[in-house]
Amino acid sequence: MMRTVYIIVKFLTLPGAILHAFFEHMSCRWTKVIVDDARVVQANEMLSHVDHELIKRKSASFDVCFIPFFFNLALGFLLLMNGATTVYYFGKYNDGLAWICLYLGISLCTNLFPQIEDVMMLKENFFANNDKKISKILVAPFYAIFFVGAKIESLGITLLTSIIFSFAVPTILGLFIPTLYNLMK
């Protein structure tokens, strides 16, 4: 049941899923992780992910989780900047570009998190040894975010959270845009 919901959500937010897979592939190439299957559209759990080898290096396992997360979040936020403010805040309901931006923004923000296997690999690489504590401390918050995110993404709940996030975008922008604008005036 949850697998079906997950796949439906992924197809509903296909642009974001494709982009997440693309950035995951990009990060694999960047960190020289061997990719076994780079097809981005598949009707299974691998939709929005690429199939890659096990990662033994710390930096690579972090990058493969973080880079797609960061890019999808950044691009999603930038898209929502126009989409959410125009539709929700200005009330311009007849603006086509704004609706496209809103959909793409929500779709990107729905597909932020890595696969749970990748998160487990990150945990294995960073926390299963007696290495220096500093890297553990730095990575711990990311691990927590990725772990929770991957879990809720596997249930398809990220669609709801990204819609809620889109409503919050005008408020978030309101915290600094007026100040910046007044400084630039």
Residue numbers at the binding site for another protein (CB under 8 A): 15, 18-19, 21-22, 25-26, 29, 32, 34-35, 38-41, 57, 75, 78-79, 81-83, 85-86, 89-95, 97-98, 100-101, 104, 108, 170, 173-174, 177-178, 181-182
Nearest distance from residue 124's CB to another protein, in Å? Answer: 17
* C-beta of 148 vs 171, nearer to another protein: 171
Q: Which is nearer to another protein, 81 or 116 (CB)?
A: 81
Residue 102 or residue 122: which is nearer to another protein going by CB?
102
Contact 125, 61 (CB under 8 A): yes
**Minimum CB distance to another protein, residue 107 (Å):** 9
Question: Measured from the CB atom, is 6 or 77 closer to another protein?
Answer: 77
Shortest Cβ 147–another protein spacing (Å):
26
Shortest distance (Å) from residue 14 CB to another protein: 9
Nearer to another protein, 107 or 158 (CB): 107
CB atoms within 10 A of CB 118: 22
Residue 44 has φ and ψ, to the nearest 5°, of -150, -170
Q: Going by DSSP bridges, is the β-strand pair 35-37/51-52 parallel, antiparallel, or unpaired? A: antiparallel
For the CB of residue 148, give the shortest distance to another protein in the complex, in Å: 26
Contact in structure between 146 and 122 (CB atoms under 8 Å): yes
Please answer whether residues 17 and 10 qualify as being in contact, where contact means their C-beta atoms are separated by less than 8 angstroms: yes
End-to-end CA, the chain: 54
Q: Would you report the helix, strand and coil content of the chain in percent, each value rounded to 5?
A: 70, 5, 25
